[in-house]
Chains A and B, each alone.
Chain A
Amino acid sequence: MNGALTIFKKELKGFFFSPIAYIVITTFLLLSGWFFFSTFFLYNQADLRTFFTQLPLIFSFIVPAVTMRLFSEEFNSGSFELLTTLPVSNSGIVVGKFLAALTFIALMLLPTLAYAFSVAMLGDLDLGPVFGGYCGALLLAGAYIGIGLLASSITRNQIIAFIVGMIFCFGLTIFNRMLFFVPEGLLAVFAYMGSTAHFQNIARGIIDTRDLIYFLSLIFLTLYGTSFVLQERK
């Protein structure tokens, strides 16, 4: 775990050394700010619901852009050879990179607390859904980072990693709206697989173990898969 911590620190620093971090943060704040405030005054309600409603969609583009380079770049430059010959396990590498990306997303969400403050100034803000919303956002980000890492681990091309990651994240996001294709008997199973419904539950301030299990198992499966892919590359 010593190795994972070192990789975490190195990767987090690495995000801010590359221009991608600043481009991604700017894009995210522009999109989320516009989606939120363009409708906020129309609803005339003191909550952050429109912000959190748009979050899965925005994340499915932003998160793969954050994770795309994490493995692909290492494979492409050959630095992966130096990394794996240092005394660190594959799971240590995956966990280190995962936590770095998650921390980056958390830092990216930090400025949006200003939305909460401004709303609290204008009206009576219920803090429960706000807290739930941010918890849900981190869980959702974790699951999408897992998908993004898995996509990055299968290719040395960052663009492919981005597109593959985006397709799967976007797929999970819109899954609940595509259920009319599914035969009725399987509906319950398929309804559980989309990410948006689970996220919206948590964002309403209702912490249900089914939603937690959904996100945690998605994170575990994708990270385990990534570690497996690294193992099989040998």
Chain B
Amino acid sequence: MIEVQGLQKFYGNFQALKGLDFTINKGEILGLLGPNGAGKTTTMRILTGFLKPSRGNIKVADLNVIEHSLKIKEMIGYLPEAAPLYGEMLVYDYLAYVAEMRGLRGSDKARRIAEMVVLCGLKEVIYRAVHELSKGYKQRVGLAHAMMGDPEILVLDEPTSGLDPNQIVEIRELIKEIGRKKTVIFSTHILSEAEATCDRVVIINQGTIVADGPTDSLLHEFGAGVVVDIVLQHPDVALVIAKLSIVAGVEKIENTTDTESGLLSGASVQLAVFSSTDEDIRPALYRVIREQGWDLIDFHLRSESLENIFAQLTQEEC
């Protein structure tokens, strides 16, 4: 659906994008991740035709963004960061304006506006001026703007910024819902969001791609393997470590006891057990603990999150 080929962008002497290559398939939800200034917004702006690439190219459905910009704009719905809408217009007038720009007229226009009002929860603010709205509502009007033309591709630049936690969940559900039929690209710096919503993530740092793949395979590829966190009550840390070390598959055990924490004061021992295999070592660990009769407080598999991978990939050069 979308092919990004050797994309470069210069702002004067500053090179914001240093040759990006990736493809996005039809019906995929792609998360564009990266720290501030990584080039997420620039990539999206080139895709939507707001900026021209300095070198390289983007093809949408085999059409070049530079030559067929008008045709591609018809296929793309875009929500820029911070949704810069016309403040003096009423929400209804604004939606009507966007609907007309998308070529909707008469009953089609009225029906589509009504659908957007329901979908984005704009009923209470429909006759208010846009500049009076809270940031969350502005963001929702921006979403309605992006989805008005029922586009094939939805490009959302940080769609959940400024929303309250309930709205964030709603928007995520909405993105997933749309993603069943359409192609969605969205940028975020909230990693749990990408983890929860995307089929695939592309991580950009300083204008280059540092990771690209399905969410779970990235976790596998860059993750540190299986880690079990254990908290139990025993006065002798060394003994506990020694006993647990002999369990098959244990690579190393780290003592993570936080002596300053009130919760784990006294005889509590906190350990992180690293496994060298992909197999679950929890049954074997638990057997040892039960044999020794130690009082177990906490015992769980640490899930390797994108957070760790992200930090690992984007902070190396700093």
Inter-chain residue pair count (beta carbon < 8 A) = 63
Cβ contacts under 8 Å, B102 to chain A:
86-87
CB <8 Å contact, A2 and B103: yes
CB <8 Å contact, A6 and B97: yes
Cβ contacts under 8 Å, B74 to chain A:
87
- A residues 8-33 in Cβ contact with B at 8 Å: 9-10, 13-14, 17-18
Given that A78-B80, A81-B45 are known contacts, is A86 also in contact with B50, CB under 8 Å in the complex?
no
Cβ contacts under 8 Å, B49 to chain A:
84-85
Q: Mark A47-90, 1 if CB is under 8 A from B, else 0.
A: 00000000000000000000000000000011101101111110
Report the bound CA distance from A184 to B87 in whole Å.
Answer: 54
Cβ contacts under 8 Å, B97 to chain A:
6, 10
Given that A77-B87, A79-B84, A81-B80 are known contacts, is A89 also in contact with B70, CB under 8 Å in the complex?
yes
CB <8 Å contact, B45 and A87: no
Cβ contacts under 8 Å, B78 to chain A:
82, 85
Report which residue of B50, B85, B93, B145 has the largest number of chain A beta carbons within 10 angstroms of its beta carbon: B50
Minimum CB distance partner of B77 in chain A: A85
Q: Mark B94-114, 1 if CB is under 8 A from A, else 0.
A: 000110111100000000000
Report the bound CA distance from A85 to B78 in whole Å.
Answer: 7
- Chain B contact residues, CB within 8 Å of chain A: 45, 48-52, 70, 73-74, 76, 78, 80, 82-89, 93, 97-98, 100-103, 145, 149
- Chain A contact residues, CB within 8 Å of chain B: 2-3, 6-7, 9-10, 13-14, 17-18, 77-79, 81-82, 84-89, 234
What are 19 A-B pairs at a CB distance below 8 A? A3-B101, A10-B97, A14-B86, A14-B88, A77-B84, A77-B87, A78-B82, A78-B84, A81-B45, A82-B84, A84-B49, A85-B48, A85-B78, A87-B70, A87-B101, A89-B70, A234-B50, A234-B51, A234-B52
The 5 A-B residue pairs whose C-beta atoms are closest, nearest first, are A78-B84, A234-B52, A6-B100, A87-B73, A87-B74
